Each structure stands twice: as C-alpha cells, then as structure tokens.
Amino acid sequence: MPLSLSPFDGRYTRQQVSEATDLEVDVLSYWIKEGLLKAAEGEGLGRGKHRLFGFEAIHIAAVLKELGRYGVQVGGLRQVSELLWGVVAFCSDHADITEDVRADASLLRRARARYSDKASLSTDARSPDDSFESFEDWLEDHPNISAKALEIEPWFDEGADLAFALYADLFTGSIFESFDTRWIFAHADDQLIAVPEDLHLESLDLDRVRSYLMINLSLIIRPIWML
C-alpha cells in the first residue's frame, strides 16, 4: 500500500510501516526487538507499540525484506541493517556535504593517488596519457574544486565515498529519478560491504567473492511512495 505522505518529514506507525512494505506486523515487531529497525529520534514519539518511525526505517525494512526473499537469514539481515543504519548516522553527521562536494572530494582523492605515485616514477616509466607532473599541477588546473572538498579530502576515503553514494541512492529523492539503481551486497575480508553495480573497486574482486546479492534499490523503494 503506497504512502501518500512525504518521506522526508513524516513519522509513521508500525502499522503504516507494515502496510507500506507489505511485511507482517509480527515480522516487523521481531526486527524491532532484535534492533534491525530503529524508531525515529526525538521526544514524544512514543514507546513500545506506539513508537514512531522515520522514512529511513521504511527503506531499510524494504531492503531487508528483499534480501530475505533470497534466503538471507536474521544474522545476515542484522549485518545489512547495521551497515545501513551506520550510513544514516555517518551522513547525518555530515549533512553539509552535498553531492557536488562528494564528487569533488572523490576526484581529489583519485588525483592525489595518481599523481603522488607518478612523482616517484622516472620520466620513461610514466604513461604518455598523464597530463600533469604532480598533484599540485593537477590542482592548479582545477580551480573550481570546492573549499569544502579540500577540507574533507584528508579523511574522505573509499568507505566514506561509498557511504555517501549509498545514502544518496537509498535515502534521498534521487531514488525517484532512476528505475535502475543496482547495489551489490557481498563479504570481502569477512566484512559486509555494499557497492554500486557500475563501480569497480580494487578492494572488491567479485571473481574472488564466494557469493553476493545484487538488488535494485529503485524498484524496491519507488512503489512505496508513488501512487
């Protein structure tokens, strides 16, 4: 049953979450008891059966339901839940970082890695495609990089980049802009990670991963809100 309310400012009962995700109330109650779903923060939101939930809980419940359809058990769902709630907390702590800032910081990180390594190479060993002698040369050629991106670049690693990307695809209005937003959930080095289908990471070689699941976030979330 699609919700007609705005997902970004609403508070929803357990019954509404159940109807929106087509999950049994008993299942939701168990997930809440086990900590897979969290009530919205704030005073006066109720406790027990009367507690209220933000749209993030609805989206996470929908993802857990989809993974459950593929046989993921409670232990695996808990790992996914912890990952997603961690993304929500991390990005909420950095709410001033826009998508443009994230893109700039990602560009900075890649350029620094590329040209810092290049500086240690002899001239003969450098690729003819390299346009700059150093990271400083690259930065001088990119004067539109935002000050905020320069500020966060020291701690903006691959994990932070993925967290912001996942938040944008699952918890912002961009979910309504695409019908094909596929994310891969897999274990790498005994750690659960989530990466977009079209992003190839050096840290994740799917040929070496024993198993993984790919789900289309857009197709899971859009029907909840669109009448």
pLDDT score, position 116: 75
Q: Are residues 44 and 113 in the same domain?
A: no
pTM: 0.84
Q: Could you list the residue range(s) of the whole structural domain that residue 103 is in?
A: 99-152
Same domain, yes or no, for 145 and 197?
no
Residues 21 and 89 in one domain: yes
The pLDDT value recorded for residue 127 is 47
One domain, residues 215 and 146: no
Backbone angles phi, psi at 43, to 5 degrees: -80, 150
| Domain finish residue from 152, 168, 187 | 152
Name the amino acid, one letter, at 133.
E
Strands 182-188 and 191-196, sheet pairing? antiparallel
Token pair 């937003």: residue: 181
* Domain shared by 141 and 72, yes or no: no
% of the chain exceeding 70 in pLDDT: 81
What single string gives the DSSP state of each residue in the chain? ----S-TTT--B-HHHHHHHHT--HHHHHHHHHTTSS-PPPSTTS--GGG--B-HHHHHHHHHHHHHHHTT--HHHHHHHHHHHHHHHHHHHHTTT--HHHHHHHHHHHHHHHHHHHHHTS-GGGS-TT---SSHHHHHHT-TTS-HHHHHHTTT--HHHHHHHHHHHHHHSGGGGT-S--EEEEEEETTEEEEEETT---TT--GGG-S-EEEEEHHHHHHHHH--
What is the C-alpha separation between 17 and 188, in angstroms, rounded? Answer: 32
Do 84 and 105 share a domain, yes or no? no
Write down the pLDDT at residue 7: 61
* Below-70 pLDDT ranges, the chain: 1-8, 42-49, 117-130, 199-210, 227
Asked if 148 and 212 sit in the same domain, the reply is no
Pair (196, 132) in one structural domain: no
119 lies in some domain: yes
Phi, psi of 168 (to 5 degrees): -60, -40
190 φ/ψ angles, rounded to the nearest 5 degrees: 65, 20
| CATH number of the domain to which 67 belongs | 1.10.1660
**What is the per-residue pLDDT for 101?**
94
Task: Indicate the average pLDDT of the chain.
Answer: 84
- Residue 107 domain-assigned? yes
Q: Is residue 2 part of a domain?
A: no
Q: Are residues 24 and 69 in the same domain?
A: yes
Is 54 inside any structural domain?
A: yes
Strand order, beta sheet including 212-216: 191-196, 182-188, 212-216
What are the pLDDT digits (tens) for 16-36? 999 999 999 999 999 999 999
Measured between alpha carbons, how far is 4 from 12 in angstroms, rounded to an integer? 12
Q: Is residue 5 part of a domain?
A: no
What's the structural domain count of the chain?
Answer: 2
pLDDT tens column, 135-167 = 898 999 999 999 999 999 999 998 999 999 999
Task: Give residue 198's pLDDT.
Answer: 77
Does 116 share its domain with 221? no
Residues 142 and 184 in one domain: no
Return the closest-CA partner of residue 193 out of 84, 92, 109: 84
Q: Is residue 1 part of a domain?
A: no
Strand partners, 194: 185
Q: Would residue 9 count as lying in a domain?
A: no
Same-domain status, 69 and 132:
no
